[in-house]
Amino acid sequence: MSHPQKDRPWLFRTYAGHSTAAASNALYRGNLAKGQTGLSVAFDLPTQTGYDSDHTLAEGEVGKVGVPVCHLGDMRALFDNIPLEQMNTSMTINATAPWLLSLYIAAAQEQGADISALQGTVQNDIIKEYLSRGTYICPPEPSLRMITDVAAYTRQHLPKWNPMNVCSYHLQEAGATPEEELAFALATATAVLDDLKGKVPAQHFPAMVGRISFFVNAGIRFVTELCKMRAFVELWDEICRDRYGVTDPKFRRFRYGVQVNSLGLTEQQPENNVYRILIEMLAVTLSKNARARAVQLPAWNEALGLPRPWDQQWSLRMQQILAYETDLLEYDDLFDGNPAIDRKVAALKDGARAELKQIDGMGGAVNAIAYMKGRLVESNAARISNIEAGETTVVGVNKWQSGEPSPLTAGDDAIMVADKDAETDQRKRLADWKSNRDASAVKDALAALRATALDGTNIMTPSIACAKAGVTTGEWADVIRAVFGQYRAPTGVSAHPSNRTEGLDDLREQVDLVSTKLGRRLKFLVGKPGLDGHSNGAEQIAARARDCGMDIAYEGIRLTPDELVDAALNDDAHIIG
């Protein structure tokens, strides 16, 4: 019996990294042996924000949400016995993307790889860091320069590499509606391409447009999400053709990877997450004309803690069964000509165009950061209100909460526990690295990096030299901070109450009574210490306290304890939370 010709499956990835480079390497090799076809590297927060593992701000954070990479030795260990010339590697890294790519190139060259053959992606999307994820370092203008420096360098030396993954994933996690996710991501892409135009020869610019890729989110409303992906395809084609004059259709393709929605994974009845993950995957695989190029699925128990290798395997098997056991890849697009789909796609495109017009009127994405951040905070507040009011059903959370105890979560080993000695081990190896390198070579490499940062030439060449000289992540980032300065992004929390004060009358009355007794408005200081930039919770607490009638003070993420104490004293706060 003959079988119909099948399309090639998407790349199967698992977003992974923890504890140390050696431990993560073992995890990667195990996943590849199970049939994973690409790597997706998660870095820890100090690496993402440009600090070495021995920095005061790194304490307690080393190896917790990803792998620590402080120098070439760590990168070498991370990919030990993994031939990089044959691998497709995605690195979720933004503010320090030029540096991590430099380490990757240096490690590949040590393996004897032809770097022009390297395939993969650096996320390298700093605008969404200001809006949602929070691992930025520098102000927008120099950050945009470094993004396009990476793009210009890869055009010349790594032609198969995607220099930027415009990331709408975290926008949805921060509350974006489908229209906002479409518009904010596309506005980011045009901001980058507008800047890149002056850095590559005109005849090569269309091909560079073709190297821009996207990383999206797929939520539980999977029909809407499927339509969103079709809208992305059509809007991107339109922008590439009309704004940039790209005539070759292959350079106008909307190429994207996806991780399905982690925001919707619940701690309550976590076994239900298996079905959520599967349904969300359908949104980015069913429609051939809008199918993802790479898919990474979270594990069912990520709301509880670090998934075990078995949990990650379960998610990988979902992809493999859909791709290899079903007949999905034997058919043309299943939704072309469907009137319901066409209507929804058209409505999403209209909404996205309206947002894009607003952003363009402000001078583009960089100038519209505060506007976009405010929209996300308000949209997230509306999302949460709908869940609290029961208008949005979340099974096991606000409906059908009772159920049988799950055998999957029983026992002490139900989730993986991070190695408690990993941070100490990482710091010791970092100290050994610093003591055994050529100090004068490090000094010279950092001086060349500083000169390049100041004179405006491409940051990649001296960064690669720094990697080979033994410079560390913190040392590289310290130069960048010193030259470009540090940045504090807008919080998106307005001082004015929203229109969601229904049901708060009793609370507002109590706040008024307390304020009268105090002789001034009750002052609430919201603090967000540590390196974690996920600020959604802090923003919503601040917004709800404001709507309850309190005077709020919220300066954003990554404040040290000393800074919070100073702010409390300066603001004469009554409450710190």
Residues taking part in catalysis: 15, 169-170, 528, 532, 534
HSE-CB of 396 using CA atoms within 13 angstroms? 16
Short-list 453, 464, 478, CA closest to 104: 464
Q: Is 575 helix (H, G, I), strand (E, B) or coil?
A: strand
* Contact yes or no for 130/136 (Cβ under 8 A): yes
Q: Closest Cα partner for 94 from 164, 190, 172? A: 164
Cβ contacts of 124 within 8 Å, gap of 6 or more:
93, 94, 97, 147, 150, 163, 164, 165
d(CA 140, CA 532): 20
Separation of alpha carbons 312 and 318, rounded Å: 10
Residue 326's Cβ-count burial label (10 Å; 0-12, 13-18, 19+) is: exposed
CB atoms within 10 A of CB 456: 10
AA identity, residue 250: K
Token match 């990331």: residue? 167
Q: How far is CA 363 from CA 194, 343, 344, 368, 369, in A?
A: 12, 31, 29, 7, 11
* CA–CA gap between residue 449 and residue 476 (Å, rounded): 8
Cβ(532)–Cβ(559) below 8 Å: no
- What DSSP element (H or E) covers 478? helix 473-484
CA-to-CA distance for 280 and 270, rounded, in angstroms?
Answer: 16
Q: Name residue 428's amino acid.
A: K
Residue the block writes with tokens 């229904």: 502
Length of the chain: 577
Whether 475 contacts 437, CB under 8 Å: no
d(CA 286, CA 331): 10
100, amino acid identity? L
- Give the Cβ contact number of residue 150 at 10 Å: 25
Asked if 95 contacts 129 with a C-beta cutoff of 8 angstroms, the reply is yes
User: What does each C-alpha distance from 420 to 61, 63, 416, 429 come to in angstroms?
Assistant: 11, 10, 12, 16
Helical (H) or strand (E) element with 101 = helix 97-110
